[in-house]
Structure 1
Amino acid sequence: MNRLYIKTIFFAAALFMLFSPAAIYAEEVDNDTKPILLGMSAAFTGPSKGLGIELYRGSQAYFDQVNAKGGIRGHKIIIKYYDDGYDPLPAIRNTIKLIEKDNVLCLFNYVGTPTVTRILPVVKHFNADKPVYLFFPFTGAQPQREFPYEEYVFNLRASYRQETWGLVHNLFMIGRNRIAVLYQADAYGRSGWDGVRKALTEKDLNIVAEATYKRGAGFESSMKRQVEILAETKPDAIISIGAYEASAAFIRDARDAGLDVPICNLSFVGSDNMLHLLKNLEKTSNKKYTDNLINSQTVPSYEDTSLPAVRDYRKVMTESPPAPPEGFGKDYDPLKFSFISFEGYLTAKVMTKILDKMMLRQNYGSLYAATLSIRDLDIGLNTPVSFGRGKHQGLDEIYYTTVSSGKFVPVRNWARWSK
């Protein structure tokens, strides 16, 4: 093969890359100043509204900073949001609307297992025609981490299996082996229940009792029957897999019934929203409802100011805290700080880096290629974030918190709960 022929082939390949759709898209991305739309469907109303509102506020806090500096190469980042009330059917309708009508770049910050699991087939369906990805859903469930959907979803947070394994292991190490489970009767609850079951099976143990409640239960709901079912077996710890209003109601009724064993909650519960309800109850009842609570988290405590990300988050949430999404939250008092808004802040930080990398010509405007290029990204947690082929989860750390002086703080020593 002579040198002239090789040069001809190289020149033709260069022309193809220059005028290929991907390269043209990259050129448009550089020159066009249209905003970058991220599509979010979440609970902004109903008993779980604090989850969607706080996640939105945290992400918006970071994007506000980026946009104030001109956005990403001139492109402002906009969250196009719709309320689904933590209900799968509205979530499906919202997803179709975001993709077909709003033409969002990607889906972002969805909230909840029952909603996310139902929109996964929709995402897979649209991928037959064009790439559609879901970034950083607020759920640790398995379906988006397994075939056939894992290739369309990128997770930042650790899984419920990792959370439940850690809770079971730490309880086991302090002699608390009789573990009962309360769970929401849906895909979220079953995902957490399965994680507890698997973790106990590894230690040749079983769940000693289980009770369920219906999704959408509020703080005013009675959990007395659930408490009775679990108390009958004399558990020495309970793992609750629920949302904040229902979980707070269960804690209230358990303590009123004299069931004072440690009650553990997963990160999805919305620790700060739950604590707010229980603290208000303590003021009016003169009873203690916040003792012996242990919550797993997928982000560090926002009280740990040794971390750069925490300092940045606290600064912006103090100086210019975002309001709830327009049209929602009129009867909701935003929290100054929360684990959920901190997670939203972090998802926005990683998303911004991905979008910036997407603008680089070597990624040809490909969101997928840009995401896979994230390696050892420092987001201020002393734990780097990486993605890659077959690795669609950025973080694996689990943190444990308990209530002290009216707020959730890191657990320093599990021995205080030794049996």
Structure 2
Amino acid sequence: MAVRGAVDLGNRQRIGWHVLVGVVAVPVAVAIAADVKVALGQRMLALGTLAVIVAWYALVAPRAMEDGDERWGVAYFAALAVAFPLLLAIAPIAGALMFALCPQLFVMVARWRVRLPLLFLLYGELAWAMLARSGVDRYALAMTGASVLVPLTVTILVGGYLTGIREQNRKRAALIEELTETRAALERAGHEAGVHAERERLAAEIHDTLAQGFTSILMLAQAARTTVLRDPKATDDRLVVLERTARENLAEARSLIAALSPVDLTGRGLADALDRLAARHTRDTGTCVEVSVVGDRTSAPTGTDVALLRTAQEALANAGKHAAATTVRIELSHTDGVMALAVADDGRGFDPATVRGGYGLLGIRTRAVGLGGTCTVRSAPGEGTTVRVSLPAGGRTGPT
């Protein structure tokens, strides 16, 4: 995978292994060709054997490194075990190829139980070539032992160290891959949660503004129909109100699309917006709505003002549709860093425990909690209803 290739240095820079083969093979070829002590035919045989080894590397080694299948590596070194002693028998200088062969072994073969026999075989062939040329005596054995055992030990130690690094790289690559997948999953979950929250916000906004406006338009149209023949003047007045309500609803729709503040808050404070809302509700329904302000009349952050205005809109709509109230009182208070809005009506009341579904009270409560506030509803059959929302005056940004 892309992440694994980026982390594993051995796989990412295989070109280094090819350069190493060239750096070792070219000087060996030059040394063999320049050794006039060896017959020309033997030199040509040695050069041909070296060419076969390099060609075998070019054919098999890249696949063994890329596929990660050590069977290719075993096949590669099995053939070398045949060609390498032939080359050593003619040109002992070819022992320098071990500088390239040993690193390749640790790249192409993963298991130690396969590595070690191949490693011992190659160094054994090197020792045989040295003894075959110098003869067998104690000095030759000592020199051969020093020339073979020391590099063999160093090769095993360095190979083990490099193997450990590559294993750490593989684990790190797997961890990065897992973290990348987890991050992608979290991003998808966050996006889905954001979409869901935005959908809920829009549903509440539409319920509190457009749906209520259309309900008012419908009621006015029905009332106008009943008086169109017997009282044209009253019908005309209702049509004027209907047109005004439609325009206000259109303005709310445009404001919602543009993600702006409610129209009633544009250029006004919350107290003024509540006065405007109360006057409009009284005009449309005939229900008396009173507004009182306690404490500072200055506005809170926009999110707080919007939430409290939406609360008043929903409470008034419920009072008009369900409570059959004759009087509604809205009280806005701003004390001790808390903005509170209470909407009380003298309607028929209800049992809050029996309310299920809908966006009304649920939307009010969701807004309040989202801004770090509280929402309480007190009502009983025949005793009216009071909806109270308290929010931090400092505001905590959140969905409105």
TM-score normalised by the chain length of structure 2: 0.24
Of structures 1 and 2, the larger Rg is shown by: 2
Say which structure, 1 or 2, has more relative contact order (CA 8 Å, 6+ apart): 1
Q: Name the one with the larger helix percent.
A: 2
